[in-house]
Every structure is written in structure tokens, then in C-alpha cells.
Amino acid sequence: MEIKSARFIISNTDVTKCPSGNLPEYAFIGRSNVGKSSLINMLTNKKGLAMTSSMPGKTQLINHFLINDAWYLVDLPGYGYAQRGKEGREKIRSIIESYILNRYEMTCLFVLIDCRHEPQKIDVEFLEWLGENEIPFCIVFTKADKLGPVRFKENVEAYKKRLLEDWEKLPPVFYTSSEKKQGRTELLDYIGSINDS
């Protein structure tokens, strides 16, 4: 799948104000700073399309980017950012939850996991919640460039093992580096295959 055009359409906190038109959309979620916005820029080959920051908590809204005038990539706020305080975290949680549970157009949710970290309770519980609500999702290990190949494989295998304690089988898994443009073809081809089906 080739991306010929990518443009920002709208940011908002309210799922009812997301674009109408029934186009399929693919959303990116995960802990703050995991690399959601960077991945959208990498996939679209547009560095400044989604705003990124080395400080967690950058994306606070639901952001729609129209791709090839035919489907959307959606950048969501990250969850679990401690410094936002309880009230701030609750607000973000309710934005994310209402989007995921109510957005009919959301065709697949990509859950991003930083490949450097051991399985975190917040991610494992989030995946469980997706399962309970029958939300279609994939897993994307990010920042692959930050580890050597041996360490990367060890971490990913350990992570999958942990998930298989809760799940009978795993959803599609992708391995990416936004720095090195790793995983781009695989992710775009996967989206293309769903769009064509």
C-alpha cells in the first residue's frame, strides 16, 4: 500500500465530533511517549504531521489524518502519564474509552508497546479490557532501534509469553522503529489488506 496524500483534518475530545463519512480508520494507542505520533509521521513520510515530543503527555486530543482521501489514521492521547494527576488522567481515560467503545469507523486499534520495557500492568490490563469489549486490535513493538537484535528478540519473546498467559492466541504483531523506518511496509500492507477486504 502506498500513501499518496496525508493531511490533518480535525482534533477534538468528543467522539461525536469526529469526521462523518463512514471511512475506515486505524487508531494508535499506548502509554504516553511510546511513539504513537512518531509512528504516524513515519508511516506517512511527513515529519511534522502529528506533533511529537520527548516529554510524555504531548497528544491530548483525538487527531484525524485523512490518507489517500479514503481512510484515516487516528492519533490518540497516551494513557498512564503519572504527572498529569488523577483528574487529568481520568479525563484522558474517558476520551480514549468513549472513542474506542463508540467509534463505529474504527476498524483496528494498534496498541503500541515500548520494546525496552518488561510487561507493564497498565498495558496488560488495557489489552484485557479490549478483549472484554471485543475491540479488534494489533500489537506494535516500538523503538526497535534502541535495542540490539538479541535483546530485542528476548524482550519481545518474554512479552508474548506473558500475554499468552491471558490469551489463547496473539493478534497480529508488528515490530517498528520510527527512526529507521522499520515496519512501515508491513503495517501499511496490513491496513491495505483490511481496506481491500
Binding residues for ligand GTP (CB under 6 A): 32-38, 52-54, 56-59, 77-78, 142-143, 145-146, 177-179
CB 111 within 8 A of CB 173: no
Nearer to ligand GTP, 175 or 190 (CB): 175
60 binds Mg ion (CB under 5 A): no
Minimum separation from the CB atom of position 193 to Mg ion (A):
26
d(CA 45, CA 48): 9
Grid coordinates of 134: 471485543
The interface partner of residue 44, options being ligand GTP, Mg ion, none and the CB cut-off 5 to 8 Å by kind, is none
From the CB of 8, what's the least distance to ligand GTP, in Å? 15
Stretch (H or E) spanning 195: helix 184-196
53 binds, among Mg ion, ligand GTP, none (CB under 5 to 8 A by kind): ligand GTP
Q: Quick one: cell of 166?
A: 491471558
Rounded to an integer, what distance in angstroms lies between the CA atom of residue 160 and that of residue 137?
15
CA dist., res. 5 & res. 15, Å (int)? 24
Q: Tell me the residue number closest to Mg ion, measured at CB.
A: 59
Check residue 38 for interaction with Mg ion (CB under 5 A).
Answer: no
- Which residues here bind Mg ion, judged by CB under 5 A? 36-37, 58-59
